[in-house]
Amino acid sequence: MNFTATPGTRERVTLTEVGTRDGLQSEPALVPAAVKAGLIDAMIDAGLRHIEATSFVSPRAVPQLADAHDMLALVHRRADAHLAALVPNARGAERALGAGVDEMVCFVSASEAHNLANLNASIASSLSNVGEIAAVVNGAVVNGAVPLRGAVACAFGCPFEGEVDVDAVLRIVEAYARLGIDRLTLGDTTGMATPPTVARLVEAVRKRFPEQRIALHFHNTRGVALANVMLGLDLGIREYEASIAGLGGCPFAPGASGNVCTEDLVYLLEESGFSTGIDLDALIGVAQRMEGIIGRTLPGQVMKAGPRLRKHSLDGARRAVG
């Protein structure tokens, strides 16, 4: 296996930041819209160009994101920074269009039990909703086309059903393909992915849908998220989703802890010879800012230790020892 970029090159890896959506949706406290918008502005200033900023779900289901429209209006938008939003149905898609999002994300779980817990609907019903979302997107003329991404939740395992069959994932990918959705995220919603399961699923999707663009979304529940990324890199995947400071977890799945950490992932990629276009020191600052807002220690490691070659004062080290 080759886990580094091709010698003599710095291949680009695209990261999508999901902290203000996937991260904050699980927090008990409500973070004000202006604070969230400020975090997104700081992420953009640090070099992040793809941010899944919020979700247009029912405010009753996810009150932490009830301010989606108002929050997006506070972000300092720029042409080279793309803001996405999760949408569960046609009404959510209409609201997202009204807020001027650059991309929408629909989602269906590969597990019937998780889909019921997460969306209160069967997989078949959720796919019907996706068809309605696609119709809204395709029928809208708002500054040109708005891309629609299809995410598959619990693609690598389910806390209710256990192993998820590859064919269950492929059926959802096929449904997305029939609707013209050519952007796909395979989601490890509860941190059950391992390098062998990642290889098996990615290879199966590529065999059936060779032209399909794939992004990977890992959670670090069992401490192997970065190992899964390394395997993904070896398979040629160049798109990943991550959350600032490792914030996050699925509120509708027991035992699901935070996402793979953005700044830890940036550090790994840059040290492995890939390019992200992200200023790691600036991103660490955003992670520390998020930790202060949340008010507890978050799982990110690089935000605590700093980059590998960061130098420290010898006098300070002596005082710490003595």
| Residue in this structure with the two tokens 């013209």, named with its chain if needed | 180
Catalytic residue among 106, 158, 250, 261: 250
What would you report as the CA-atom Rg of the chain, rounded to the nearest whole angstrom? Answer: 19
141: left (phi over 0), alpha (psi -120 to 50) or beta: beta
DSSP string for 12-44: B-EEEE-IIIIIGGG-SSPPPHHHHHHHHHHHH
Rounded distance, CA 268 to CA 57, Å?
A: 33
For residues 261 and 268, the answer to whether their CB atoms sit within 8 Å is: no
Quick check: is 261 catalytic?
no
| Residue in this structure with the two tokens 């420290």, named with its chain if needed | 312
For residues 89 and 146, the answer to whether their CB atoms sit within 8 Å is: no
Helices 195-208 and 166-178, packing angle to 10 deg? 40
- Active site members: 250
